[in-house]
Structure formats: C-alpha cells, structure tokens
C-alpha cells in the first residue's frame, strides 16, 4: 500500500504538535506502520523529508526500537513475554506452542497472513504473569490453552477482548492509536489492574509501614 497525500497531511499534523520537528519522529513511524504494516523504505524517506533528517538517521531510529518492523506484520501481532517470571510460569511454553501450531518462528508471520508472533523480553506486567499482548493490548494470566483459543478467534475473525483495554482492533489500528490518532477507545474495557498492582502498598499500609524517602520502612 503506497503512502498517500492524506498520510503526508497526517504526518504534518503530528509534527505540528512538537516544538522541534525531529521530536515527532517516533509517532510518525508508528503512523507509517499503521498504513503499510511495517516501516517501509518509502516511509523512511517521507519522514526524513518532512522533519529535515537524512534517511539514514530515520532508519537508525527505526532499527533501534523493536516495535518498529522492517517487514510486513500480519493482521494481528502477538507478543509473548519470556522474561524470567513470565517465562518460568508459562511464557516459554506458550510461545513454543504457538510457534509449533503456526509453523513459524520468532518475528515471523503465519502463511495466511493473520498472525505474527514475537518473543518479548518484558511487558512490564509481572503481576499478571504469564502475560501476552495482542496488538499491544494486555492478555493477563495466560496459558497455552487460553492463547490457542485467542489465536483461533483471531484467525476466524471473532471478537477478542483484552484483559484491561478495548476489544482487539488489529495491528494497524493499534499503530494508528499509538501514533496519537484518536480511535475513541481510551475509556473502553475494564481497568481491573489497580487492586493487584497496588497489593504491595495495601499490605504495607495494613502493617503500618511508613513511607521513607520514597520507599517503605518496616
């Protein structure tokens, strides 16, 4: 899919939010990815032209951050956390099962173009390990069977509800939202993370542990 004049206009809209044009580069690359499913050479050239950088400088950003993909992603992106806590509690088994079922490896896409899977080193959600994301939306307390069910629904076009956010919208739609384009989903879904996330603080208060210098003193 070629980038259009509408894409250029939206990139300029993003740039206008920042006092220095190059500061807009990260959301710009996400917008490119939302249009083409990856950060294409054409997208790099266009971003470079708009912000006044050399294409090599833009490419350096696109290759530094793992959320930017240099080849097309499937309709849905699944990230499976395999960092120690998630990995030990089932993350490795989940990734291995999906890899076997879909007959693909890390950062590869299924033959039907539906699913890309990726090993993620940390999702910053250890409270709910093992954790995965679908199009960057959290799927908490997962297992091999739960993730297989998610994949089956995605491949058949069924609705998939994330644990703490909206119904999964698709990789490109998620990238557009990350770029800062309002998708109307900011308040969608149940934010059920707070109680677990604050459990340590709750216990500390119950036991009368006062906060000292930003920490807790027993």
Axis-axis angle for helices 25-36, 171-178 (nearest 10): 160
Residue 108, C-beta contacts closer than 8 angstroms, at least 6 positions apart = 116, 117
pTM, entire model: 0.86
Q: Which domains does the chain have, with CATH numbers?
A: 5-64 (1.10.10.1590), 76-170 (3.40.30.10)
Q: Would you say 183 and 176 are in contact if contact means Cβ atoms under 8 Å apart?
A: yes
Instruction: Assess whether pLDDT exceeds 70 at residue 194.
Output: no
Instruction: Assess whether pLDDT exceeds 80 at residue 130.
Output: yes
In DSSP terms, 120 is beta-bridged to: 81
Q: Is the sign of the CA dihedral 171, 112, 108, 2 positive or negative?
A: negative
Of 58, 81, 69, 46, the closest CA to residue 171 belongs to 69
* pLDDT tens readout for residues 93-115: 999 999 999 999 999 999 999 99
């Amino acid at each position: 899919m070629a980038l259009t004049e509408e894409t250029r206009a939206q990139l300029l809209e993003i740039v206008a939010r920042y006092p220095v044009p190059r500061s807009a580069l990260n959301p710009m690359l996400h917008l490119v990815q939302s249009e083409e499913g990856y950060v294409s050479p054409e997208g790099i050239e266009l971003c470079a032209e708009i912000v006044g950088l050399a294409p090599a400088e833009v490419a350096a950003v696109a290759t530094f951050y793992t959320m930017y993909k240099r080849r097309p992603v499937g309709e849905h992106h699944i990230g499976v956390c395999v960092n120690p806590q998630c990995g030990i509690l089932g993350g490795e088994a989940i990734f291995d099962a999906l890899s076997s079922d879909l007959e693909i490896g890390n950062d590869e896409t299924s033959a039907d173009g539906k699913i890309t899977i990726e090993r993620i080193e940390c999702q910053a959600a250890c409270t709910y390990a093992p954790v995965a994301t679908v199009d960057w939306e959290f799927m908490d307390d997962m297992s091999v069977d739960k993730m297989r069910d998610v994949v089956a629904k995605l491949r058949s076009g069924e609705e998939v509800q994330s644990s703490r956010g909206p119904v999964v919208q698709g990789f490109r739609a998620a990238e557009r939202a990350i770029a800062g384009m309002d998708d109307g989903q900011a308040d969608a879904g149940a934010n059920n993370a707070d109680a677990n996330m604050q459990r340590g603080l709750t216990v500390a208060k119950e036991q009368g542990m006062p906060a000292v210098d930003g920490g807790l003193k027993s």
